[in-house]
Amino acid sequence: MAAECAGTAITRMASLMGVSVSGYYKHVKSMTATQLNPARQRREELAVRIESIHKDSHGVYGSPRITAELRARGERVSTKTVAKVMAQRGLVGISPRTFAPPTTIVDPFATFPPDLVQRIFDQGRTDAV
């Protein structure tokens, strides 16, 4: 249709074809969106490689390790790019567990000091308890 557009107005052609002008432009926009430019093509190829590495690691690797693996294979890529692609694809790595200190285990046979104030700490004056 672009070849026919050279000598005719879009509004005239749209009315002859029975479509709206906005519908024509929406169609043109969708056709150009499906064509991959070199940057989008590279991003899609990178996404395939990232998914492959993530799958090979059994879902353990996150963006820093995947970036290191890609660089070891000779790919020039940043950690942020890998993180963005992983987020778009819903890929997440497994984070190491955070440090959890052991809790205190109370000795059931321990003796405790006697409660001399019967748990009444407010005696009505300062320095009383």
Query: Has this prediction a pTM greater than 0.75?
Result: no
76 falls within a domain: yes
Number of Cβ within 10 Å of residue 81's Cβ equals 16
Quick one: pLDDT at residue 2? 57
Quick one: pLDDT at residue 4? 54
How many domains does the chain contain in total?
Answer: 2
Residue 83: partners with Cβ closer than 8 Å, 6 or more residues away: 63
Q: Cβ distance 103 to 65 under 8 Å?
A: no
Quick one: pLDDT at residue 100? 84
How far is 14 from 73, CA to CA, in rounded Å?
Answer: 52
- Alpha helices, H only, 1-129: 10-17, 21-34, 38-56, 63-72, 79-89
53 falls within a domain: yes
Query: Mean pLDDT for each 10-residue chunk of the chain (129 residues)?
Result: 63 85 85 76 94 95 95 95 96 87 84 84 81
111 falls within a domain: no
11 falls within a domain: yes
127 falls within a domain: no
Which domain covers residue 50, as residue numbers?
38-89
How far is 13 from 16, CA to CA, in rounded Å?
Answer: 5
